[in-house]
Amino acid sequence: MKRSLTYMSLAYVLAFSIVLVSAFMFAPAILVNAQLPLPPGVPRGDVLVAENHWGTYIDIENFNFKIPGVPSTGGKYFQQLVGAYLWYVNTTNAEWINWLATGYEYSADFKSVRFYLRKGAYWNDGTPFTAHDVVYTIKTALATKEWATNAFAVTWIEDAIAEDDYTVLIKLKKPYPRFHYAFTVIIYGTGWWICPKHVWEKQDPVKFKFYPPLSIGPYNLVSVDPAGNWLLYEREENWWATKLFGYKPSPKWVLVIHHGPDEKKAMAMIRHELDCLRTLLPEAVDMVIRNNPYVIGWRREWPLAWPFDACVKGIAFQLNTYPYNITEVRTALVHAINFKKIYEAFKGPDGSLPTTSVLPIVRYIHADKDYYQPLKDELIKLGMDPETLWWRYDPAYSESLLKKVGFTKGADGKWRLPTGEPWVIHITTTSGFEMESQRIGFLVADEWRKFGIEVVVEPCESGVFSARGTKGEYEVGTFWPGCSLLRDLVPHIQWWHSKYFTPVSPGTYWAAYQFPKKAELDAIIDEMEATPPWEIEKLIELGRKALLIWAEVKPWAGFFPTPFWTLQDTYVWEGWPSYPENYYMDPVNWWAQQMFVVLRLYPTGRVPYRDALPRPGAPTPVAVTYTSVWVTEDIGSFLGADGRSYGPYKRGAYITIPTPDAERLVAAGVASYEPPALAGLVEIGETVTAIKADVTSLKDSVAQLRSAVEALKGLTAISDRVDALSREVSALAGQFSTLTMTVAAEAVVIVILAAGLILALRRRS
């Protein structure tokens, strides 16, 4: 594989290198003796370790995802391993997968539909899965305003009837030829997972936590971390799909774990303690792919980034809050952003770049042909830059718009509200998860500060962030309200309609937002919903009209689907999907479709296993112990003591090999049990020792960092990085109450060292 580093990401990678070096120097015992939270005696080879990408859960025992604001069915692996879903769509080829339902049938007028359920499926307590479960779920949604599915249910459903144990008749209030889409996993998951009636009917559907969740999937939840970081699932040995289809997953256990911030996730993957993750920031990706030769992404060769994320990441305005309820204000803020700065911050070490998506739909090949190209001239009239294909950077235009609606700019260059008060924007962003969104938040804040607006960035843990976003409790946030996959935009934009607004989960308030063309937009969506999915040309034309109205109003500003390095480690498990040779499913472990990936994995035998199921025909692994070492000189391929091939390895790689081979390589002087000094960082190691002794308090450390930043500002070649460091200082200062003194001090040391290294490199050049 090609392994190179671009100059643009140099500063980030150097800073991240310091994180790893300092971790090795300050905490060698943690790295050497790190253990996963597994039952006693469970070998690593029996366990699939997946990322809990949502971070630390406030209430890890709450599995009632029907209530808005409960963080994600994907982070806890509920939708991947446990939940009851009727249908799936394979996003690689649009294949329709009948799962707990075998089909559907509409009446001629599309005012009723029958769901035909699979006979022989049952919950993991042995209770049959029947039409009564589906009817219970639908009727409870109709009767429970607190459920997220209530608005859709009361809009469309007249009644649901179990005609027999395996046939559900659903009567609709009006024709709707794509009603079954709601019960299908298309993007990520669906809120219409089916509840086991015999469990839920005894409970309050609002207060019930559904813990532990009764599974109908290949695994059962057996343990959770009281601190909210991990969940442990055990394979269901009597799974219905094993009997009907022969499916049985190989991993005996699935550990879903939050290792911490990006640098800790990277170290876990380098050490083969994390088999798959959602994504990392570019500098962390570079460290993983340079130090773990077994890691792959969407492809096994560069570029590794998965280019097909379904959601456009960006900035969302809370439309029910002044002054973001004013279109001129939102438009001014959009045109005050230098998009190139945002774009360049997401260039990956493998050359991956984002796909600019100025509309709230991802610019796939078909979307580009159906929507972007036909609307290009109209979008340019509305302010799109034909060069960047995003809204043009035009601070003068932004200034004129703000003054038009009464804003003023003082002699200090700072903007004031029409009342004369200073204008301060609060950006709600992520902390500990979705770190690409946090990066967007700080970058946008920097652009608005340059324009003259005070900005406060407020990072939030997953539970707080999810609740704020769902309940609309923010001013501006780094959300992703524009997601798409199908050419038929109905399931992607129908929620813009007024009829779907629900006060319990208002989100951006876009469905309730009143503007001159609101009635026209509602009428367009009504017509789209009444149009059958096979009348695609009509749907595309209506979709273009809806998108242009959105572009005029700009309720949020999406940039692009951020590149996703959905890294997969092939050291312990193989069978991962990869393009093009094994592209059976997208490698998106936080989507519900990940279940089909888990079903295809098999052990490599590089680590001992006991209860994992080997690939049919695979040899029984030799029972040997394994040891991790650092490669100090390039090593060619060799046959290991376990009878398997290893290598070749490059100098600097961190590898796990049979213990006899590790001892042989160490004795030969080409490997080491301790991390080797990284070239060019010897003086940094000395600096680490000195600074560690000097750091006595967080405030003193921040003061030192501020001084270092000021000293750097004269270096124009790295001025952008200096500004970024300044923002990080502000973020650190704002988090005194939530960080422990030890963690914060180490974080400051890391950034100071990064600044020192940049200065050293500058002097050498």
Q: Is 722 or 221 the better-scoring residue by pLDDT?
A: 221
**pLDDT at site 88:** 96
Q: Is the pLDDT of residue 725 over 70?
A: no
Kindly state the average pLDDT of the residues 496-503: 95
Kindly state the average pLDDT of the residues 6-22: 40
Q: In whole numbers, what is the pLDDT of the chain averaged over residues?
A: 85
623-651 pLDDT, tens per residue? 456 788 889 999 988 877 765 667 888 88
DSSP string, 705-746: HHHHHHHHTT-GGGHHHHHHHHHHHHHHHTTTTTS-HHHHHH
Lowest mean pLDDT among 65-79, 155-169, 471-485: 65-79
List of domains in the chain:
1-33+680-765 (no CATH), 42-82+217-299+566-621 (3.40.190.10), 85-200 (3.90.76.10), 311-560 (3.10.105.10), 630-677 (3.40.5.50)
Confidence of residue 302 (pLDDT cuts 50, 70, 90): confident
Structure tokens at 218: 């290949």
Kindly state the average pLDDT of the residues 214-232: 97
Kindly state the average pLDDT of the residues 105-119: 97
Confidence of residue 217 (pLDDT cuts 50, 70, 90): very high
Q: Is 688 or 310 the better-scoring residue by pLDDT?
A: 310
Lowest mean pLDDT among 71-80, 129-138, 556-565, 673-682: 673-682
Confidence of residue 416 (pLDDT cuts 50, 70, 90): very high
**pLDDT at site 615:** 81
Q: Name the burial class of residue 164, with classes exposed (0-12), middle (13-18) and buried (19+) by CB atoms within 10 angstroms of its CB.
A: exposed
Amino acid, single-letter form, for residue 616: P
Confidence of residue 700 (pLDDT cuts 50, 70, 90): low
Contacts of residue 202, Cβ cutoff 8 Å, sequence gap at least 6: none
Amino acid, single-letter form, for residue 85: Y
Kindly state the average pLDDT of the residues 209-232: 97
Kindly state the average pLDDT of the residues 35-53: 91
With contact defined as beta carbons under 8 Å apart, do 347 and 4 qualify? no
Q: Is the pLDDT of residue 549 over 80?
A: yes
Distance CA 424, CA 412 (A): 15
Structure tokens at 148: 């997220």
Kindly state the average pLDDT of the residues 672-694: 50
228-280 pLDDT, tens per residue? 999 999 999 999 999 999 999 999 999 999 999 999 999 999 999 999 999 99
Q: Is the pLDDT of residue 551 over 80?
A: yes
Q: Is the pLDDT of residue 91 over 70?
A: yes
Kindly state the average pLDDT of the residues 616-621: 53
Q: Is the pLDDT of residue 452 over 70?
A: yes
Lowest mean pLDDT among 4-8, 57-61, 257-261, 676-680: 4-8
Q: Is the pLDDT of residue 293 over 80?
A: yes
CB atoms within 10 A of CB 46: 23
Percent of the chain with pLDDT over 90: 70
Confidence of residue 308 (pLDDT cuts 50, 70, 90): confident
With contact defined as beta carbons under 8 Å apart, do 136 and 143 qualify? no
Q: Is the pLDDT of residue 679 over 50?
A: no
Q: What are phi and psi of 483, to 5 degrees?
A: -125, 145
**pLDDT at site 723:** 47
Lowest mean pLDDT among 215-224, 542-551, 713-722: 713-722
The closest of 542, 557, 494 to 359, measured between CA atoms, is 557
**pLDDT at site 620:** 44
